[in-house]
């Protein structure tokens, strides 16, 4: 069976300027052939089509009614550069194989993502051309900048004032360049005015900065636990391989940790000022000017750098999508799973970084359990939060994944024999759990050793029992000590199979352990680890203690193991004009009720899914342990 694929284009003049507009589905029985024509009223519209095998594509056609108001539309075909099928094709294949049940809400979202994927092809080309122009403009501006400085330096060199200063203060340059102290020859407002005047003059000489092409609107997916959000986003992310130059996929915990790491790196660099001073000295030291003029030149350059690096969060955002392995410039996408605003820091950090990335043309596809304006119901830092929401709504289409069915549970009901969750904690189940451990490690060589793995911020974690990508931990070892998401990410990246023994029923009495366990499950799931558990009760009964009160306080937990965390959080909060303090009761209130129950339901739903054949079939393909290039967090199960 063959399908027809067509893409609607809007003609703006020459053929090479034609841009894609929209993509819509029709039934596979449509009789569209090469050079078919659509007739509507008195206008005729020509379409050319591309036939391809059904498993490589879907049937698409644009209804003629859409042309009623604009006769300058025509239909053409574009081939995707993706190395993998699009999200709609992936979804339909899983439905056809019986691994997923068809859901109209999910299919609609898959179609939206398919359309976005198609628009990225042209956007990548536009961004490549834009970056060529931008690099040329930056180079010309820097050349003119140095020329202007040289001209000003010559004027100062020959002025009577500078000659008098030179006679009184004729001294050797010495180590002035490397003291790390700026010389305020024009302190305060004067230096700022000089900087602005110079920038205006540069713009008049080299022209305004090139305008970036308009980015396609991203998608903000929200809905209930198990409705398919993460699955659909990951299908899209997989399909973008080879389509855009830069792409990243983050879960909330991992993103917050990377923000901290980048902030620490930038602040350390600013304090040391090594790169700045060496770049200044490379072209100033040998100029034919006296010491004082060189000091002035250096101070002007240093001031320019300080102005450009004044805000830390935009600098962090610029590092998020940098590919250290390639200099290629083009489009970028960010897939962000589980957007949350659990505390003041998250609001300030997300607002600064997401706003910057969207402003520079990054396409965002995000998931959350709430619509954007419902994320911050307690009103923390409302002004900053509303700026973030406005930016999201300006650059993303809000799409609710409206299914009320938890598809993880539905899939698990079909695979009752595929059990990696052993309960209760009694003789027979403990023996079965131990037997499974021996079988798995025998497949991996059978030699069990202890190992130390690296964690972020220069820390390490000892793994008591491991064997070639497989590790055993007790619940107390992972959740009864002050460890956090950085440790769990390190475990998830280093071990494709994880055994956890002795999991108790959660309650208020062990709420710290419960909140750590929830984050642990999130990270193992995000990295598509295979999980074996022995527990005191069934998965559905794990969080029966929730009626005793709030189980966890994300504010105290999120960064409890990062040695630099306190300093970094205070500094960013200060930059965002907010106080670093806060009422613990306010944070607990935020995470109580619906927010807290969502976290519990998500953990239960993911634990159930991790026992299913569909999840287990993918772990050898999706876990970073088996891949030379890290493509972690690509779960193909419905979230």
Measured distance CA(83)–CA(330) in Å, rounded? 17
Pick 479 or 614 by higher pLDDT: 479
User: What pLDDT, on a 0 to 100 scale, did the predictor assign at position 155?
Assistant: 79
Q: Are residues 559 and 485 in contact, defined by beta-carbon separation less than 8 angstroms?
A: no
Q: What 3-state DSSP class applies to 51?
A: strand
Q: Is residue 133 part of a domain?
A: yes
Angle subtended at Cα 84 by Cα 82 and Cα 85, rounded to the nearest 5 degrees: 100
pLDDT, position 417: 53
- Choice among 231-235, 354-358, 401-405, 604-608 with the minimum mean pLDDT: 401-405
- Whether residue 565 lies inside any domain: the answer is no
Clarify whether residues 303 and 438 are in a common domain. no
What mean pLDDT do residues 39-67 have? 38
Look at 290 and 396; give whichever has higher pLDDT.
396
More confident site: 215 or 602: 215
Find the mean pLDDT for residues 114-121: 95
Burial of 262 (0-12, 13-18, 19+ CB in 10 A): buried
Q: Is 189 part of any domain?
A: yes
pTM: predicted TM-score of the whole model, two decimal places: 0.64
pLDDT-derived band at 83, boundaries 50, 70, 90: low
Which is more confidently placed, 406 or 240? 240
The segment with the largest mean pLDDT, out of 27-36, 78-87, 374-383, 540-549, is: 374-383
Q: pLDDT value at position 256?
A: 87
Q: How far, in Å, are 121, 378, 390, 466, 626 from residue 491 at the CA level?
A: 36, 34, 37, 11, 15
Position 600 scores a pLDDT of 84
Question: pLDDT-based confidence at 487, cuts 50/70/90?
Answer: very high
Q: Where does 124-164 show beta strands of DSSP type E?
A: none
Share of the chain above pLDDT 70, in %: 63
The pLDDT of residue 225 = 80
What are the strands, taking DSSP E only, across 339-484?
Answer: 363-368, 396-401, 421-422, 449-455, 459-467, 470-474
**Are 266 and 128 found together in one domain?**
yes
| pLDDT band per the 50, 70, 90 thresholds, residue 30 | very low
Give the lowest-confidence range in 208-222, 244-258, 587-601.
587-601
Of 411 and 231, more confident: 231
Q: Which of 63, 79, 95 is the last residue of a domain?
A: 79
Give the contacts of 219 (CB within 8 A, at least 6 positions apart).
109, 112, 113, 116, 364, 365, 366, 396, 397, 399
Whether 238 shows a pLDDT value over 50: the answer reads yes
Residue 355 shares a structural domain with residue 333: yes
Q: Which of 58, 79, 100 is the last residue of a domain?
A: 79
Domain range for 223? 81-405+581-587
Considering only residues 367 and 619, tell me which one the structure prediction assigns the higher pLDDT: 367
pLDDT of the residue at 25? 42
pLDDT at 10 over 90: no
Same domain, 480 and 618: yes
The DSSP-derived string for 517-572 is HHHHHHHHHHTT-EEEEEESS-GGGTTTBGGGS----HHHHTTTT-TTHHHHHHHH
Q: Is residue 573 part of a domain?
A: no
What pLDDT is recorded for position 326?
54
Residues 31 and 170 in one domain: no
pLDDT digits (tens, 9 = 90+) for 406-460: 666 666 565 555 579 999 999 999 999 999 999 999 998 889 999 999 998 788 9
How many Cα neighbours within 13 Å face the side chain of 113?
A: 35
For residue 571, tell me if it sits in a domain. no
Q: Are residues 361 and 447 in the same domain?
A: no
Tell me what pLDDT residue 261 has.
83
86 falls in which pLDDT band (50, 70, 90)? very high
Domain co-membership, 171 together with 32: no
Give me the number of domains the chain comprises. 3
Q: Are residues 74 and 141 in the same domain?
A: no
Kindly report the average pLDDT of the chain as a whole number: 73
The answer to whether residue 637 is domain-embedded is no
The HSE-up count of residue 458 (CA atoms within 13 Å, CB side) is 5
Last residue of a domain, one of 79, 98, 127: 79
Looking at the structure, tell me whether residues 251 and 155 fall in a common domain.
yes
Which of 315-324, 484-493, 538-547 holds the top average pLDDT?
Answer: 484-493
Residue 127 confidence (pLDDT) above 60: yes
pLDDT at 623 over 50: yes
The pLDDT score that the predictor gives to residue 73 is 42
Q: What is the pLDDT of residues 12-22, one digit of tens each?
A: 344 333 334 44
Within this chain, do residues 154 and 41 fall inside the same structural domain, yes or no? no
Number of Cα atoms under 13 Å in the Cβ half of residue 32: 27
Output DSSP code: residue 495.
-
Asked if residue 497 is part of any domain, the answer here is: yes
| CATH number of the structural domain spanning residue 111 | 3.40.50.300
Instruction: Please report, for residues 268, 461, 473, 501, 502, the alpha-carbon distance to residue 478 in angstroms, rounded to integers and kept in the order given.
Output: 31, 10, 7, 10, 11
405, HSE (Cβ side, Cα atoms, 13 Å): 15
pLDDT of residue 503: 96
pLDDT (0 to 100) of residue 596: 66
Tokens read off for 113: 């993502």
Whether 116 and 181 map to the same domain: the answer is yes
The angle formed by the CA atoms of residues 386, 388 and 393, to the nearest 5 degrees, is 95
| Top mean-pLDDT range of 17-26, 44-53, 270-279, 481-490 | 481-490
User: Is the pLDDT reported for residue 297 higher than 90?
Assistant: no
Question: Mean pLDDT across the stretch 36-41?
Answer: 35
- pLDDT above 90 coverage of the chain, percent: 30
Residues 500 and 467 in one domain: yes
| pLDDT classification of 164: cutoffs 50, 70, 90 | low
In a domain, 494, yes or no: yes
The residue ranking higher by pLDDT, 219 or 621, is 219
């Amino acid at each position: 069976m063959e399908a027809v694929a067509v893409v609607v284009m809007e003609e703006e003049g020459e053929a090479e300027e034609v841009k894609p507009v929209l993509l819509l589905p029709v039934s596979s029985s449509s009789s569209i052939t090469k050079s078919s024509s659509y007739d509507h009223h008195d206008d005729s519209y020509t379409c050319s089509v591309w036939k391809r095998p059904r498993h490589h594509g879907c049937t698409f056609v644009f209804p003629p009614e859409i042309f009623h108001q604009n006769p300058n539309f025509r239909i053409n075909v574009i081939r995707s550069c993706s190395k993998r099928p699009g999200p709609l094709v992936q979804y339909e294949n899983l439905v056809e194989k019986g691994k997923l049940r068809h859901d109209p809400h999910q299919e609609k979202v898959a179609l939206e993502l398919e359309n976005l994927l198609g628009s990225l092809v042209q956007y990548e080309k536009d961004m490549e051309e834009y970056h060529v122009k931008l690099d040329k403009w930056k180079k010309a501006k820097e050349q003119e900048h140095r020329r202007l400085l040289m001209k000003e330096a010559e004027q100062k060199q020959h002025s009577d004032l500078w000659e008098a200063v030179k006679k009184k203060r004729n001294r050797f340059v010495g180590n002035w360049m490397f003291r790390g102290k700026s010389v305020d020859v024009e302190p305060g407002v004067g230096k700022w005015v000089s900087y602005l005047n110079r920038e205006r003059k540069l713009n008049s000489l080299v022209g305004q900065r090139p305008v970036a092409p308009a980015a396609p609107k991203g998608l903000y997916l929200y809905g209930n636990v198990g409705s398919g959000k993460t699955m659909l986003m990951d299908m899209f992310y997989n399909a973008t391989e080879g389509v855009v130059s830069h792409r990243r996929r983050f879960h909330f915990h991992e993103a917050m940790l990377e923000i901290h790491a980048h902030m620490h790196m930038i602040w350390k660099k600013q304090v040391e000022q090594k790169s700045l001073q060496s770049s200044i000295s490379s072209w100033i030291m040998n100029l034919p000017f006296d010491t004082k003029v060189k000091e002035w030149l250096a101070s002007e350059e240093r001031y320019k750098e300080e102005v450009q690096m004044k805000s830390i969060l935009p600098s962090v955002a610029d590092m998020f999508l940098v590919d250290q392995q390639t200099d290629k410039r083009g489009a970028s996408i960010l897939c962000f799973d589980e957007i949350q605003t659990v505390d003041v820091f998250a609001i300030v950090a997300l607002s600064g970084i997401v706003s910057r990335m969207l402003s520079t043309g990054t396409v965002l596809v995000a998931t959350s359990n709430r619509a954007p304006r419902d994320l911050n119901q307690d009103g923390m830092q409302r002004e900053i939060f509303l700026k973030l929401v406005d930016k999201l709504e300006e650059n993303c289409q809000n799409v609710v994944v409206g299914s009320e069915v938890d598809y993880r549970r539905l899939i698990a009901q079909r695979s009752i024999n595929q059990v990696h969750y052993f309960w209760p904690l009694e003789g027979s189940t403990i023996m079965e759990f131990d037997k499974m451990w021996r079988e798995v490690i025998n497949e991996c060589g059978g030699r069990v050793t202890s190992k130390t793995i690296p964690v972020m911020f220069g820390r390490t974690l000892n793994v008591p029992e491991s064997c070639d990508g497989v590790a055993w931990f007790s619940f107390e070892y992972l959740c009864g000590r002050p460890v956090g998401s950085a440790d769990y990410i390190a475990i998830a990246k280093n071990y494709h199979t994880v055994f956890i023994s002795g999991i108790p029923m959660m309650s208020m009495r062990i709420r710290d352990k419960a909140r750590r366990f929830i984050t642990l499950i999130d990270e193992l799931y995000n990295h598509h680890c295979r999980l074996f558990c022995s527990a005191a009760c069934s998965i559905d009964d794990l969080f029966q203690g929730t009626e005793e009160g709030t189980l966890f306080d994300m504010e105290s937990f999120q960064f409890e193991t990062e040695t630099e965390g306190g300093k970094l959080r205070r500094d960013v909060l200060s930059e965002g004009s907010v106080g670093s303090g806060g009422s613990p009761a306010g944070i607990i209130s935020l995470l109580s009720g619906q927010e807290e129950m969502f976290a519990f339901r998500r953990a239960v739903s993911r634990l159930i899914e991790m026992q299913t054949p569909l999840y287990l079939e993918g772990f050898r393909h999706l876990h970073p342990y088996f891949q030379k290039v890290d493509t972690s967090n690509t779960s193909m199960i419905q979230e």
